[in-house]
Amino acid sequence: MTGDDPLEESDSGEPLPDGGEPSASEPRFDGGTAGADDVALDPWGSSTVSDYRKLFEEFGIEEFDEVLDEVPNPHYLMRRGVIFGHRDYRPVARALQNDEPAAVLSGFMPTGDPHIGHKLVFDEIIWHQRQGADAYALIADLEANSARGMSWEEIDGHARDYLLSLLALGFDPDEGTLYRQSTNRQLQDLAFDLGADANFSEFQAIYGFDGETDVSHMQSVVTQMADILYPQLEEPKPTVIPVGPDQDPHVRLARDLAERMRFFKVSRAYASFELEPDERALVAEFYERLDPADFDDDRLRCVHVAESLEETPLSELAVDASTLDTVLTKLNEAGMEPIRPRTRFFDRRATDEAFEALIDAIDGEKRVYENHIDAFEIDPDDAAELAREIEVDHGGYGFRPPSSIYHRFMTGLTGGKMSSSVPASHISLLDDPGDGYDKVKAATTGGRETAEEQREKGGRADECPVYELYAYLLAGDDDEFAKRVYDECVGGERLCGDCKEQAAQLMREFLAEHQEKREEVADLLEEADIELESPRRG
Ligand code: TRP
Ligand code: SF4
């Protein structure tokens, strides 16, 4: 399983969804297109993401715009829609807002030079650090070795380059944490623990692993799971993982494992028996709908809900026939048991002491069963907090499910995707500033055949890799500037020659400045708490 560096993948700059014209006031990159190729999210593959909408529909990634209002001082990558999606980012946004503990972590496979695609992730980590989050950046050297066959010597060289760029862009190594996977013992212990809750069939389903897959490659997956949960080792806290969407399978698995490691599962129940989520929603609906006063002794009982369900046509219920069947069976078996909403603490893997401690800690009316406790007077949010507290006090991790944010891949300068195997398609942070200038000058654009046509119809900024450079990097925090470039382009006032000249000069300046800063932070890196040379051979 090898492929191009996933961070270098790009969408191919297709038109906006609905075929609509972008509004000139809002330069965005909502480049999805109906009927495009299937999206495959493969961390080691080379598929491009040609339709971002499918990521929302098929994988349940949510639109970043929906949380943007809750983010304090949003980064320009957030404001411009480059960060387009998220999973469960709200708890992180809230923690930043309220100065509560939060963390950010991302990892880099040292397989080549750091480039402008990695800069997005560096910036995301640094921004979160400046908003008060504990920041972690790691070198995924085990993954580079096992999944990409990089030698330790190559890895050391690239790792240093990544770290220098990260520090040059503003990461504070005194406040933040840097590590490499291979020398972090605590990380490996956590990976081992998590591995006990994952199995091969699952890896097969998620990653397409088969009988030929190296065991070390599998180990690098549990290591990444441990990376993602590492910031919570001392204390559970909202944590965001900024990555490209190709890493989403890892995020989903980590969220799942975080949940599996929990001592208790806290859920809502309506009677003594367990309900599946869609069954529960159905019972909840009927609980709301039915009035106890309509029944004997003013009590709503399981049989009443069952009768009422049987009288309702299936087409009016949000479940299929077999789900309805199982709910009816459960309700009828419980018969005259009253329906009473409650919070259920299900014992998943708690120690006996933790279970006892939880019983003691629950206030108000409660019922204790062999594997669960039902509490009748506790607010569901408080219940989750209580369960976590008891778990942490009794030696559990108490992990919160990690959150993620996703950025768009940059389009290659030569059109198509940005790929490390095509030097002209991308700009390395180590490129000679003059070469950077030349690459921008040689880039494809969204311009028209002739200057007249461009003046008449305007350029296609949304399909232009040069415009992307402005929006993702060259305009920096200056939204006005990015907007001006966009408006002038689509309005036909801007012609590609001058536009590229300006971008090329800005790129040259950026690279020169960045490389100067890299030299300035060299000492900082020597002092930082990370091993720069691997003791490993081969
Ligand atoms: N798998 C990531 C990549 O291919 C690198 C990585 C390792 C990572 N551990 C991580 C990314 C934890 C985010 C979080 O680039
Ligand atoms: Fe791209 Fe600039 Fe040409 Fe517009 S004017 S298409 S942004 S190069």
Q: In angstroms, rounded to a whole number, what is the distance separating the alpha carbons of residues 24 and 34?
A: 22
Residue nearest to atom 5 of ligand 2 (CA): 496
Q: What is the pLDDT along the chain (538 residues), one digit of tens a residue?
A: 333 333 333 333 333 333 333 333 444 443 333 333 455 677 776 545 667 888 888 888 999 999 999 999 999 999 999 999 999 999 999 999 999 999 999 999 999 999 999 999 999 999 999 999 999 999 999 999 999 999 999 999 999 999 999 999 999 999 999 999 999 999 999 999 999 999 999 999 999 999 999 999 999 999 999 999 999 999 999 999 999 999 999 999 999 999 999 999 999 999 999 999 999 999 999 999 999 999 988 999 999 999 999 999 999 998 999 999 999 999 999 999 999 999 999 999 999 999 999 999 999 999 999 999 999 999 988 999 999 999 999 999 999 999 999 999 899 999 888 877 788 889 999 999 999 999 999 999 999 999 999 999 999 999 999 999 999 999 999 999 999 999 999 999 999 999 999 999 999 999 999 999 999 999 999 999 999 998 887 7
Q: Which two tokens stand for residue 450?
A: 């002739």
Q: For residue 6, which of 149, 135, 108, 90 has the smallest C-alpha distance?
A: 108
Q: Which two tokens stand for residue 272?
A: 């003594």
What is the pLDDT, as a whole number, of residue 59?
A: 86
pTM above 0.85, yes or no: yes
Residue nearest to atom 10 of ligand 1 (CA): 107
Q: Which ligand is nearest to the CA of 253?
A: 1
Q: In angstroms, rounded to a whole number, what is the distance separating the alpha carbons of residues 48 and 314?
A: 42
DSSP letters along 42-82, please?
Answer: -TTS------HHHHHHHH-PEETHHHHTTSSS--HHHHTTS
Instruction: Order the strands of the 372-375 sheet from edge to edge.
Output: 264-269, 342-347, 372-375, 366-368
State in Å: Cα 98 to ligand 1 middle. 28
List of domains in the chain = 98-262+400-410 (3.40.50.620), 265-393 (no CATH), 423-524 (1.10.240.10)
Residue 500 beta carbon below 6 angstroms from any ligand 2 atom? yes
Beta strands in 181-286 (DSSP E): 239-243, 264-269
What is the pLDDT, as a whole number, of residue 416?
A: 82
Residue 445 beta carbon below 6 angstroms from any ligand 2 atom? yes
State in Å: Cα 22 to ligand 2 middle. 15
Residue 244 beta carbon below 6 angstroms from any ligand 1 atom? no
Q: Which ligand is nearest to the CA of 248?
A: 1
Q: In angstroms, rounded to a whole number, what is the distance separating the alpha carbons of residues 10 and 245?
A: 11
What is the pLDDT, as a whole number, of residue 42?
A: 75
State the amino acid at position 468 in one-letter form: E
C-alpha distances in angstroms, 240 versus 170, 246, 283?
A: 19, 16, 35
Token look-up 């490389």 returns 515
Token look-up 């009748």 returns 376
Choose one of 29, 440, 445 to mutate for the ligand 2 pocket test, by most ligand atoms within 8 angstroms of C-beta: 445
What distance separates the 2 farthest-apart alpha carbons in the chain? Answer: 86
Choose one of 128, 139, 143, 420 to mutate for the ligand 1 pocket test, by most ligand atoms within 8 angstroms of C-beta: 143
Q: Which two tokens stand for residue 468?
A: 């992307």
Q: Which ligand is nearest to the CA of 112?
A: 1
Task: Judge contact between 269 and 346, C-beta under 8 A.
Answer: no
Task: Judge contact between 30 and 17, C-beta under 8 A.
Answer: yes
Beta strands in 385-523 (DSSP E): 403-407
Atom number, ligand 2, closest to the C-alpha of residue 496: 3
Mode of pairing for the β-strands spanning 264-269 and 342-347:
antiparallel
Token look-up 């009016």 returns 316
State in Å: Cα 251 to ligand 1 middle. 10
